[in-house]
Chains A and B, each alone.
Chain A
Amino acid sequence: MSARRIYFVVSILVLAALPWLIATPYWRGILVLCAMNVLLALSLNLVIGYTGQLNLGQSAFFGIGAYVSTILVKSYGWNFWLAAVAAVGAAGLLGLALAAFAVRLRGHYLAIASLGFAVITYQVLVNWENVTQGVRGIYGIMPPFSHPAALFYLVAGIAVLVYVLIDNLVRSPVGDSLRAIREDEVSAASLGINRALWKAFAFCVGAAIAGLAGCFYPGFVGTLVPDAFNIVESFTMMAMVIVGGMGTMIGPVLGAIVLTFLPELLRGFGELRLMIYGIALTLVVLFMPGGMVQAWMALRARLR
């Protein structure tokens, strides 16, 4: 068995054991949250880390997934799974729509355009009260499984599946093309890579995965308010990707885990939670641009 396989099997076993090792309802909830954050970090990493598109609107797709699935279930009586498929589709389609012209934009322009998209989405959630209940929020949302361990298994299972698929994809020739676009768009085009197509592809897939994560959020929290999908959420997702190490597979996973648990451990300090994100983001960019993955590599090199 290769080292990869061994790591994989060990991770699965740890995941399976986790809800029984950490048995209090509160910490089980944090586990679910962590799995969801991993999913979000993976989705954003595909767009920022592998394709080099600075997308600050990921919170919007997360929100669209959450609202579409919840409204379909609550107002139209859809089955949860069917609603989830529709929600993922809606997030993906909107991602594609935004990508349709965002692919022509680069760097700062894309950052601001996606930020603008996130603001618009947030405003729609607040103002379209007939459908979204506005700031009053939607209450009494049931998760697809009531047992917290089952919910964790579901979300973690999906996160593992998504991880494996993206990992395969980025090691495949598609990954070569995406990274080529990230490094230099003009020379990517000079090799026959249709940059608009592949950028839109990454954007759309990233949006769909964020939408998928969004499907599980409302049932887990029980309520749904627009503030959960404020642009600050985009920033926290980005912090996870950067702190872990963007453009690597394991980095964003580690980033999501650390930045989910660290603030929980420091919960007594209130407002410090987001300050930690801010400090971590700035310091990592300044001193360790490759994130935790880079730090680990450096450490290993020194120990040898």
Chain B
Amino acid sequence: MVALGLTLIYGVLNQINFAHADFVTVGAFTAFFTATRFATKVLGLPDTGAYLLSMFAALGAGALLGLAVNAAVFAPLRDRGDELRPLIATIGVSVLLENAQLALFGPIPYQFDSPFARETLRIGRIFFSAQSVLVVAVSAAAIAALYGFMRFTFLGKALRAVAQDRETAGLMGINPNLLIALTIVIASALAGMAGALLGPVLVLSPFAGASVIVKAFAIVIIGGFGNMQGTILAGILVGVIEAFTVQYLGSGLIDLVVFAMLLLMLVLRPTGLIAERKEENV
């Protein structure tokens, strides 16, 4: 889901948001504090209700951050037609967000208890935590919703039109800036929600994002920049390969294997799994 947000932004804007993963941690922290401090203490909601509420809070936090980054970074830099500048600026935002969180929350990881993490489900002889089932289910739903949105609604079509050719789309009465802002907000909201979902699974610390982002990049590249089907496929593929790596090589080597795969992919098929060939435009 994080990778999907990245690829969405890339597909429409041709820009990479390095701070994207930090939206995930911000989302996770928002969810954490909403669930543990606000919902249960102030509103007196039961655990499950608090967690669900926290997910929406995280969604909102992600959307707000996306809005802010778009207004502060992407929008002013968009017209200069430079690929490096926005990328570097988002690295700056990323470093800023990480360390701001560090200053606020400290380096000690938080234990984010979700009511679902405590329960386990059994299918045959295999046990799952309810949380991981929830992660998969919500991700699948979000992916399906996003896919449907891009494919079938007017806005989705307009977005893809902007991705294809910004100027022409502008001439057709589509406001590209508004749509780009919308894309970033959607992608960032997804990231925030991903944070709420992953918070209880990962260790919640300000730097959790960094470990997520590099993997998300790997998935995006393996799937092909801006290509949604490819990204989903690559996400599944990387998940499977990670599982096998843990099984046979040990968990320390996960990043190594994923990135070796990434480099291999860049050598063999730089356009991704589902290739869209683009000739050098002269």
A binds B: yes
The number of residue pairs between A and B whose CB atoms lie closer than 8 Å in the complex comes to 127
B256 and A278: CB pair below 8 A?
no
In the assembled complex, B85 has its CB within 8 A of some CB on chain A: yes
A281: shortest Cβ distance to chain B, in Å?
A: 3
A116: shortest Cβ distance to chain B, in Å?
A: 4
Q: How far is the CA of A124 from the CA of B257 in the complex (A)?
A: 11
A57: shortest Cβ distance to chain B, in Å?
A: 11
B263 and A116: CB pair below 8 A?
yes
Q: Using Cβ atoms and an 8 Å threshold, which residues of chain B touch A107? A: 83-84
In the assembled complex, A192 has its CB within 8 A of some CB on chain B: no
Chain A interface bracket (under 10, 10 to 19, 20 to 34, 35 or more): 35 or more
Task: Identify whether the interface residues of A are mostly helix, strand, loop, or mixed.
Answer: helix
Chain B 91-104 per-residue mask, 1 if CB under 8 angstroms from chain A, else 0? 11111111110110
| Known A-B contacts A113-B266, A115-B217, A120-B256; A285 and B92 likewise in contact (beta carbons under 8 Å) | yes
Chain A 177-215 per-residue mask, 1 if CB under 8 angstroms from chain B, else 0? 000000000100000000000000000000000000000
Chain B residues near A (Cβ < 8 Å): 10, 16, 72-73, 76-77, 83-85, 87-89, 91-100, 102-103, 210, 214, 217-218, 220-221, 225, 252-253, 255-256, 259-260, 262-263, 266-267, 270, 280, 282
Task: Identify whether the interface residues of B are mostly helix, strand, loop, or mixed.
Answer: helix
> What would 15 more interface pairs be, CB under 8 Å, given A113-B266, A282-B73?
A107-B84, A109-B221, A111-B16, A116-B218, A116-B263, A120-B259, A120-B263, A123-B252, A123-B255, A274-B102, A278-B93, A278-B99, A281-B88, A285-B85, A286-B89
In the assembled complex, A101 has its CB within 8 A of some CB on chain B: yes
Q: Using Cβ atoms and an 8 Å threshold, which residues of chain B touch A274? A: 95, 98-99, 102
For A101, the closest partner residue in chain B by CB is B267
Segment touching B, from A36-44, A149-157, A235-243: A235-243
A304: shortest Cβ distance to chain B, in Å?
A: 27
Q: Using Cβ atoms and an 8 Å threshold, which residues of chain B touch A73? A: none
Q: Using Cβ atoms and an 8 Å threshold, which residues of chain A touch B92? A: 239, 277-283, 285
For B254, the closest partner residue in chain A by CB is A123
In the assembled complex, A164 has its CB within 8 A of some CB on chain B: no
| Known A-B contacts A109-B221, A278-B93; A272 and B103 likewise in contact (beta carbons under 8 Å) | yes
B239: shortest Cβ distance to chain A, in Å?
A: 18
A242 and B267: CB pair below 8 A?
no
A275 and B84: CB pair below 8 A?
no
Q: How far is the CA of A109 from the CA of B73 in the complex (A)?
A: 21
A286 and B73: CB pair below 8 A?
yes
In the assembled complex, A108 has its CB within 8 A of some CB on chain B: yes
In the assembled complex, A257 has its CB within 8 A of some CB on chain B: no
A278 and B95: CB pair below 8 A?
yes
Q: How far is the CA of A123 from the CA of B263 in the complex (A)?
A: 15
A116 and B253: CB pair below 8 A?
no
A108: shortest Cβ distance to chain B, in Å?
A: 5
| Known A-B contacts A54-B87, A120-B263, A270-B103; A104 and B73 likewise in contact (beta carbons under 8 Å) | no
| Known A-B contacts A120-B263, A274-B95; A242 and B253 likewise in contact (beta carbons under 8 Å) | no
